[in-house]
Amino acid sequence: MAVLSALLYLGLRPETIGGSADSSQNPSPTAARTMPSLPTGGAFADSIDFASDRVSGRFTINASNWEGSTLVVNVTIAVEWGSLNYDFLAMDMASGDVVSANLATHPSDLPGGTLTAGEQATGTVRFNKERGDTQVLLGDAGHSNLTMLAVKGQ
């Protein structure tokens, strides 16, 4: 968990402007290219487009609520092109703690899966975590986190 939190922090922090005086060096790719895109409508937007070199589409949070210390989120994922082997994580915005979706006790919830161009999936995803503002991350399993949307902790 600590490693994933550190990777998310390092990938989401602003890059340093400027560079080496040695113009012969080729710039190397940075982790920021594979990190989630941020909502343009603000931190608590309901929907965001995502794109990578493998897939593009739209991630939407239709509704969210808290059941005790469980965040319950109804989401829709729509794939425009490519193929997405999706999964979900949640990151507490205050602590940086990251948790996986809880599928063990709610087998009817939306599990990870695969969508191809023109397909979409809608369903509920649950995260056992303390109440607080939370980033829900949509990932392309085994490749990268594609994007995230935030939900309020209240």
Domains identified in the chain and CATH numbers: 2-13+43-151 (2.60.40.1240)
Q: In this predicted structure, what is the pLDDT of residue 72?
A: 94
Amino acid at 77: I
- Prediction pTM value: 0.72
Q: In this predicted structure, what is the pLDDT of residue 74?
A: 94
In angstroms, the Cα distances linking 105 to 61, 70, 121, 142 are: 22, 12, 20, 24
Q: In this predicted structure, what is the pLDDT of residue 104?
A: 66
For 116, how many CA atoms within 13 A lie in the half-sphere containing its CB? 0
Query: Which segments in the chain show pLDDT lower than 70?
Result: 1-43, 104-105, 107
Q: In this predicted structure, what is the pLDDT of residue 103?
A: 73
Report the alpha-carbon distance of residue 137 to residue 135 in Å, rounded: 6
Give φ, ψ of 19 to 5 degrees.
-170, -170
Structure tokens at 32: 């920021």
In angstroms, the Cα distances linking 116 to 33, 75, 79 are: 22, 17, 6
Closest CA to 35 of 136, 114, 116, 137: 137
Q: In this predicted structure, what is the pLDDT of residue 143?
A: 75
